[in-house]
A and B are shown apart, each in its own frame.
Chain A
Amino acid sequence: MSVGLALAMLLLLGGGGYLLGRQRGVAFVASEGTSVGAVHSRPGYHGAFVAILALLPAAALLVAWALLGEGLIAREVLAGLPAGAVGPSELDREAFLSEVRGLVRGDYAAAFNPNAEAAAAAWKVAARRYGLVFGLGALALGAVGALWGWSRLTPQFRARTRVERMTMILLVVASLVAILTTFGIVASLVFESFRFFQMVSPVEFLFGTQWSPQTAIRADQVGSSGAFGAVPLFWGTVFIGAIIAMVVAIPLGLMTAIYLTQYAAPEFRKVAKPVLEVLAGVPTVVYGFFAALTVAPAVRDFAISIGISNASSESALAAGLVMGVMIIPFVSSMADDALTAVPRSMRDGSLAMGATPSETIRRVLIPAALPGIVGGVLLAVSRAIGETMIVVMAAGLAANLTLNPFDSVTTVTAQIVALLTGDQEFDSAKTLSAFALGLVLFLVTLALNIYALAVVKKYREAYD
């Protein structure tokens, strides 16, 4: 049964239930009159009450179908096969079923396993039958629910109270999605990392200096050591995101914010701020393309011209420079907020003492706004080290521990992309290591964010 059909069915049930209930509500008003207390709820609430009772059971059944249906069909298809058609292990069954699913969906033109064709036909039959059963079941349940709700309506029935209670439940569920997402992230990262750390010790991962995640398929393969020391990746991430990018972004962002808040005329500010927002809104893949195509060759030519012969075309400097430019609007807007939060009296006091505006900014405003600016910079660092596309496209994959900005380094995010795209067998240390890297990245950015937000908040309260 298709999603569209299921939605149409739910719409029909909900709409029909609403109209039925509302009609009854209108009839109550007609018979009891409109004096206070004669009818407890307005007709719309009667309608909504019936609609909810019709929708909920039907939707529950359809969701159950979406979650369990595939398993039911698979069990029936497997049971209908001749004995010995599929290997006994879980893995064989999964492989066979995924082939059958591919056939049913039309992904494969022909079957590899001779039994798969027959199984695919059986699958289609079973899917149609179960779809019919669940679809009709959902319709029947919905109709029963609607009738039951409808029969409970009386002039004194507290339909509004009940509908509002359901609304509250809906609101709570919606706000729980955020917690569930956080939980999902933590659970999936921790679970996969745990499997990784069963193969590779955490000490080696966190402190080892060799990174070559190619594990051997055969035992005698050359160059298949499979070293998982992530220190070069951490260094590369810090080098590009927290050092080079910040060397670009902090002065430029801070000076931009100072100019816009302290010097620029309001009309100029009105034009310049949206332009900066455009800079912030350019997708990172565009920055990455620009870094790889224009900035990286320029950096390499520059390096060669100053006599560095082994300059890489995927240098840390190119990626870091472009990332720094990407972060400028972010740093600038954080610094902007921090500077405008400094009480005007402090500025005016300094100016009245005869200090020039620049002296006021340097000696009074910036020291006063420093906690806010530092918080903003920390948030910017957290953003830079989590940034993916620029480093994937411009920084390369060579895990070097180097201080030379013209050399190629790699970062945590670039490695995650490299490890998880392309052919993957899901249980190898190679793919699982991506989740361990993800966990480290998540924890570091989380710590940075929490600390930075706390700093910013404390600073705001100091001046409020």
Chain B
Amino acid sequence: MQARIRRRYAQERNFRLMGLAALSIAIGFLLFLMATVIASGWTSFVQTRVLVPVTLSPERLGVTAEAVKADPALLRRANFQGVVSDSVEQAFRTDVGIVSDGAWLAVREAVEEDPGLIGQTTEMWLITTSNLDQLAKGRIDLEAGEADRPVSDAEVAVWRKLSAEGKLEKGLNGTFLTSADSVDPELAGIWGALKGSFLTLVVTLLISFPVGVLAAIYLEEFAAKNRWTDIIEVSINNLAAVPSIIFGLLGLAVFLNTLNMPRSAPIVGGLTLALMTLPVIVIASRAAIKAVPPSIRDAALGIGASRVQVVTHHVLPLALPGMLTGTILGMARALGETAPLLMIGMRAFLTSVPQGFTQPATALPVQIFIWSDNVSRGFVEKTSGAIIVLLVFLLTINSLAIYLRNRFEVRW
């Protein structure tokens, strides 16, 4: 008898531990994922720069300081690439790539601010190539043989020399936060994708929020119980569970091929995501409306309000916080969505920031997908960096939703 009880208690303990273990595995995975992403991504916010004495000779540039003072537009045609490559050649006397192909942009900016620099030699901190950047960040396994790592021995030698001379510095990577995609990892940024996501979500919000709330009001407050209402309800519940890629197929077939809307544009992406988010918002809004007690409706009806007035004056204001919470959560889901946007062509390689709703754009999760295809070490870091930015946005949005829910939740 005693032995049996002991065995049963042991079983009880084991079962309980199994439960705890399952929960720990789930949470542990989340922590591991976050840790991996942060560990490999935080350095994308840091950039390595090299000190180069840049000689801005008027002959090589093709413009003089006086000419530029008269007409600053001349700088747009000046040969900064040549000046930078000459200066680097002069300073380091090596074939190894040291400064990035886009480093001359910083030089041009400096000259635009102070045309007096032309004709002088100025020491400037210029962005290095991705390989030197990765070396400086310690991302390259130097133990591996030359063939097994992405950088050559010559590059390693140059890096050792430069850092011994103190000519390398690390600073905040403004490029990553302010520019669009590029073929060079050190010049690639997420601003283009972020703006594309923003434009897309604006369209999504403008369509799905009003339509979703109106549909919820109709279904919850006015709809008669008949076959039509049943069909509407069934289709909303099913749409909420349809795989997102199917919405992408819908967008491709209807918006692009039938209505001839522009490919890769935020407006099409926004419409597609709006259809996907709509059921989420309808379901959340209906729950919020249901939570408003009937006594409030009865009271308003009792003093002579019409049914529409009951809704607009009483039910809607009381249900709005719940509706907003649902909408924000739906937007968070739309922000993280990738597959439907791939279907409508928002995976184009774009080096410029989208300026409008009908221009080709990409979105942050799609940018992550595009970069993840790239095997270069620099892009692995950038992918993780973009994921950090995306997760920060999602956490902020979700916290906002939780805050709203706690702040405005009314218990009747």
Contacts and interface: CB of A to CB of B under 8 A. Distances in A.
A63 interface: no
B332 interface: yes
Given A168-B308, A387-B243, A179 B30 contact: no
B301 interface: no
B126 interface: no
B222 interface: yes
B20 A259 contact: yes
Interface in B14-55: 14-16, 18-23, 25-27, 29-30, 33, 36-37
A259 B210 contact: no
B250 interface: yes
B86 interface: no
A174 B218 contact: yes
B103 to A, nearest CB: 27
Nearest to A160: B306
Interface string A424-459: 001000000011001001100110011001000000
A252 B27 CA distance: 11
B241 A379 contact: yes
Interface string A48-82: 00000000000000000000001000000000000
B369 A393 contact: yes
A185 B242 contact: yes
Contacts of A188: 249-250, 253-254, 258
A84 to B, nearest CB: 26
B212 to A, nearest CB: 8
B391 interface: yes
Interface residues of A, number: 90
B74 interface: no
B328 to A, nearest CB: 12
A202 to B, nearest CB: 19
B368 interface: yes
Interface string A321-357: 0000100110010000000000000000000000011
Interface in A1-52: 3
A278 B30 contact: yes
A289 B387 contact: yes
Nearest to A435: B249
B337 interface: yes
Contacts of A182: 235, 238-239
Q: Which of A181, A290, A385 has most chain B Cβ within 10 Å?
A: A181
Contacts of B249: 185, 188-189, 416, 420, 434-435, 438
Interface stretch (B88-96, B108-116, B134-142, B274-282): B274-282
A359 interface: yes
Interface string B186-221: 000000000000000000000000111011011100
23 contacts: A174-B210, A174-B212, A174-B214, A178-B232, A179-B231, A188-B253, A255-B23, A256-B23, A277-B398, A281-B336, A283-B337, A285-B372, A286-B387, A288-B372, A293-B36, A293-B380, A294-B36, A357-B16, A361-B15, A379-B241, A389-B339, A421-B347, A450-B238
The 3 closest A-B pairs by CB, nearest first: A386-B243, A259-B19, A283-B336
Interface of B: 8-9, 11-12, 14-16, 18-23, 25-27, 29-30, 33, 36-37, 210-212, 214-215, 217-219, 222-223, 231-232, 235-239, 241-247, 249-250, 252-254, 257-258, 260, 275, 278-279, 282, 306-308, 332-333, 335-339, 342-343, 345, 347, 357, 365-366, 368-369, 372, 380, 383-384, 387, 390-391, 394-395, 398, 402
